[in-house]
Amino acid sequence: MKTWLHFVKNSAPLVSPGEQWRAALGAGLGIALTGWVCQLFATLFDLNWPWLIAPLGASAVLVFAIHTSPLARPWAVIVGNTVSALVGMACLHSLGSSPWVGGLAVCLSIVVMFSLRCLHPPGGAIALLVVLSHQPNYAFVVFPVLVNALLLVFLGIAINRMTGKSYPHRVINAALSAETLTSELEHVLRKHNEVLDISIEDLQVLIDEVTQLHWNQRL
């Protein structure tokens, strides 16, 4: 039982309480402002469908709390959410609304996101949302989905930078043995054949810093 729990439980995030509050308040503010602007837009143009989608809350967690992740990059947030909505809409209009069609929409949205290098977990939720909520109008893909994503990314850039975080994330410290280490990391990642929530460049920097710390302790 103890061994099973060890693999099931998540390890605690290695960030300070201040960073936790920064991410939480940033995500809350990002969603609130996105919703406020889109609500004004919907009222102005008398749109009688949703102006804020629930999966955007998950996008906000990535943009503000895991902003270094490849899954949180602007391309992933904007394109991943939008193409997933398109996939869901295509499935709905072709096959109707049912749990099986919802599953197909999620499946195909992942395939498309992989092919466009814009994997973004909330995209699967958006594809499912479109099917199960019987969204009749393709304009839903543009508003609220695309507009929501664009506003959240813009706010993510502004709020993260105002609070001292780089977004879109850029590696600050160049790795010491860039070419060799990158090649070896790519080889190992291909061998494991799994999606990791960290870029090769960030892995490279972490390995170099740990190595440097090890040698400093030995001196």
For 79-103, the pLDDT digits (tens) are 999 999 999 999 999 999 999 999 9
Q: With beta carbons less than 8 A apart as the criterion, state whether 39 and 51 touch.
A: yes
Secondary structure E strands in 46-166: none
Q: With beta carbons less than 8 A apart as the criterion, state whether 26 and 160 touch.
A: yes
The predicted model gives 127-137 an average pLDDT of 93
Question: Quick one: pLDDT at residue 176?
Answer: 46
Separation CA 210–CA 219 (nearest Å): 15
pLDDT averaged over the chain? Answer: 87
Q: What is the pTM of this model?
A: 0.81
Separation CA 74–CA 169 (nearest Å): 10
The predicted model gives 44-54 an average pLDDT of 92
Question: Quick one: pLDDT at residue 214?
Answer: 60
